[in-house]
Amino acid sequence: MRELMRDRRRYLTCNSRRPAGITALLLAALLGACGKSSSTHATAPQPAVKLSLAAQVGEKMFFDPTLSGSGKMSCASCHSPAYAYGPPNNLAVQLGGPNLSTPGTRAVPSLRYEQFTHRYSDTAPNPDGVSAPGPGGGFTWDGRAQTLAAQSAIPLLAANEMANTSAADVVRKLRTGTYAALFKQAFGADAFDHPDAAFVDAQNALQRYQQENRDFHPYTSKFDLYRTNKGNYMTAQEIRGLKVFNDPARGNCIACHLSGNAIDGSIAPFTDNSFEAVAAPRNPRIPANNDPAYDDLGLCQASETGHSAATTPQFCGMFKTPTLRNVATRQVFFHNGVFHSLRDVVEFYNKRDTNPELFYPKAANGSVDIYDDLPPKYRANIDMTVPVVHARGAKPSMSEQDVDDVVAFLGTLTDGFKPPARDMANTH
């Protein structure tokens, strides 16, 4: 833990992206003691505590493929428990719709560790307690849903996901389904008499399931044991990676992926839930991108948050910072799933501007079409300290060894770590 404390102290005084300083509570939080896939019919992990009736309904719904237009897609099809409630495959976007053949437009995020996410605000307080307020919070990549309950309506009703025709269509399936009696037990004998209210009950049931089931927020990674002084199983390389992660002159990952949160009380969320424009390359594997006129601009297109490209162009290209917990279990990265290797992601942050030819396509004149997925008029929004920008051709901030070390550290954030048997025996 001495290395962790030393790195945190260094961050407090010389982080180049955030103002110096951080609240004592943040430090205390840090160091405190969809498509065709095999997961379509996944089963629910057994919760450690008995779920409320509403949460039990949510559990049934989460794994129920009959709630989709195809009859073959459930929430768990895209949010697989075996993959930290993220996608179980390497598709950039999942396939849905009535025939499971309609592609989505964004990569599927994990649902783990969402319980502390606050509602979206243009002036959300930054979790470091020092930086100026800015866009933050909300659910989905663009923050348009304000609660987990509200978020659940998106996949249920989207034509390229579960493809129900209306909320009433979902309620009809629940009313004739195998757990209709449980639904009425949870929400009242007349629960299905008012379809609009019943749909709200269904949304709340999915939210309650994710909030109550500890499998959505288990805190069982190797790093959690290290963080809480319950055992140091970190390798020398992983410790080095943690130092690079925290170092503002090298990785500076901690600038957005905070290890503690003084605002909402979550424990080491590895995200500040802020919005950033990092200029991920355009992904040709997303069919929507075949149209040159199509642009996914993220936050500034989220009309639910009061934004549009015309009224808030300063938010175009921004997407919500995801948690890095369980990131090593993923097979696609960024909002558009453009990368399929965690090392490639770290290298992108390291060399985006020093060696853009590694990530962006060549233009017709032979030049590199840098920032190719964001129209030029919005490129002033790009975060130019991700992690540290140098001139093109300059030496990157991280060495190749640094990159490998960061990737090794990120692997310690995977839940389900089991200490060696001999060490477990010594604790009894």
The H or E element that residue 276 is part of is strand 275-276
Tens-place pLDDT, residues 13-42: 333 344 333 333 333 333 333 433 333 456
CA pair distance 92, 174, nearest whole angstrom = 31
pLDDT of residue 19: 36
CA pair distance 220, 50, nearest whole angstrom = 20
**Residue 109 phi, psi (nearest 5):** -85, 165
Question: Which residue stretches of the chain have pLDDT < 70?
Answer: 1-43, 45-48, 260-266, 422-428
Amino acid of residue 40: T
The reply to whether the predicted model has a pTM over 0.85 is: yes
Reduced to 3 states, what is the DSSP secondary structure of residue 54?
Answer: helix
Q: Summarize the chain as % helix, strand, coil (round to 5).
A: 40, 5, 55
Angle CA 134–158–139, to nearest 5: 20
pLDDT of residue 6: 38
User: What are the structural domains, with CATH classification, of the chain?
Assistant: 2-33+219-413 (1.10.760.10), 53-106+141-216 (1.10.760.10)
Max CA distance (Å), the chain: 69
pLDDT of residue 127: 74
pLDDT of residue 47: 61
Inter-helix orientation angle 148-157/195-212, to 10°: 120
Nearest in space to 246 (alpha carbons), one of 5, 7, 1: 7
CA pair distance 352, 360, nearest whole angstrom = 9
Q: Which two tokens stand for residue 330?
A: 């993923």
Q: Which two tokens stand for residue 58?
A: 């949510």
pLDDT of residue 131: 77
Q: Which two tokens stand for residue 55?
A: 């949460």
Question: Taking phi first (over 0 means left), then psi (-120 to 50 degrees means alpha), and beta for anything else, what does residue 128 get?
Answer: alpha
Tens-place pLDDT, residues 218-253: 999 999 999 999 999 999 999 999 999 999 999 999
CA pair distance 406, 172, nearest whole angstrom = 49
Transcribe 11-46 into DSSP letters: HHHH-SSSPS---HHHHHHHH----S-TTTT--PPP
Amino acid of residue 10: R
pLDDT of residue 260: 59
pLDDT of residue 120: 97
